[in-house]
Amino acid sequence: MTAHLTWRDTILALAIVLVWGTNFVVIRLGLNALPPLFYACLRFVFVMVPAILFLPRPKVRLGNLAFYGLCIGVVQFGLLFIAMKGQISPALASLVIQTQVFFTIGLSIWRTGEKIKLHQIGALALAVAGMGVIAANTGQGITIAGVALVLLAAMGWAMGNQASREAGKVNMLAYVVWAAPFAVPPLLLLSLVMEGPTAITEGIRHAGIATWGAVLWQSVGNTLFGYTCWAWLLSRYPAATVAPMSLLVPVFGFASSAIILHESLQLWKIGAMLLIMAGLAVNLLWRPRKAVIRGEAC
């Protein structure tokens, strides 16, 4: 695997995190009408249909596809949507979910034997300090339950990352599409049990153009484009190279939330974001000096 992103793949990664960052506002708009678990279910229905009719199933184990679908569909987005229904603001959700970086790198070290470098430990320490600032300010647009749910969602994202990496070099669009059928039934069942048929019916009745636009943005922009390309990058680069790029998501999350939803940006939120961004900068830009002996680089 190449250690550093090419310029082309760096631009692709930036496009992905732009979509993902603004997506938290889109999620919040959809939740104005739809119950969280049913909203997540609809997201993956539109990922699956009609694309699954045209894309052949990738040559990976069904167990791998099922694991990815459950991790991304049920754990990540099911829990994230529940948390964003009044327990955490879009900007803060976009920040807390980035703990997936730590989980992704940790899982990769455990599963593939990737080595973590000293500067990466320092980068993670800065980001953890940023998370500590958030934890110290619960009660200001964020609850303990909301933080816990988003942390679990981040773990689901990390496990999905690892599953996609272990799938190897397959058609990642087909991979994401064929994983969706494993997310839809459990999300629908959980919605029926936890939210109830009445809430689902009322949600559909009150859904307008903006709601259905949010569902399609979730499916086409965030999942088919974002997760397909992200999985493609993870299959070609070490997790420690790709995963930290998602720390840019809060920048777009904070900006879009402030502009569209008029969410206030208190100093502690900005401080937390800056700490996490400092961690990203250290991880991405640090280049250890090469020892030189007799005029030759070692």
On whether the CB atoms of residues 16 and 254 are closer than 8 A, the answer is no
Residue type, 126: L
**What is the predicted pLDDT for the residue at 1?**
59
Q: What share of the chain is helix, strand, coil (3-state, %, to 5)?
A: 75, 0, 20
**What is the predicted pLDDT for the residue at 292?**
40
On whether the CB atoms of residues 167 and 58 are closer than 8 A, the answer is yes
**What is the predicted pLDDT for the residue at 147?**
87
On whether the CB atoms of residues 275 and 133 are closer than 8 A, the answer is yes
CA 87 to chain centre: 18
**What is the predicted pLDDT for the residue at 298?**
32
What residues pair up with 297 in beta bridges, in sequence order? Answer: 292
**Cβ neighbours for 55, distance < 8 A, ≥ 6 positions apart:** 171, 173, 174, 177, 178
**What is the predicted pLDDT for the residue at 293?**
40
* pLDDT, tens digit, 9 for 90 and up, residues 218-250: 898 888 888 788 878 887 888 777 877 777 788
Q: Please report, in tens digits, the pLDDT of each residue of the chain (298 residues total).
A: 566 788 899 999 999 989 988 999 999 999 999 999 999 999 999 999 999 999 999 999 999 999 999 999 999 999 999 999 988 888 888 888 878 877 887 887 777 776 777 777 888 888 888 878 877 776 666 788 898 999 999 999 999 988 988 888 888 889 999 999 999 999 999 999 999 999 999 999 999 999 999 999 989 888 888 878 887 888 788 877 787 777 778 888 888 888 888 888 788 888 888 887 788 778 766 766 554 444 333 3
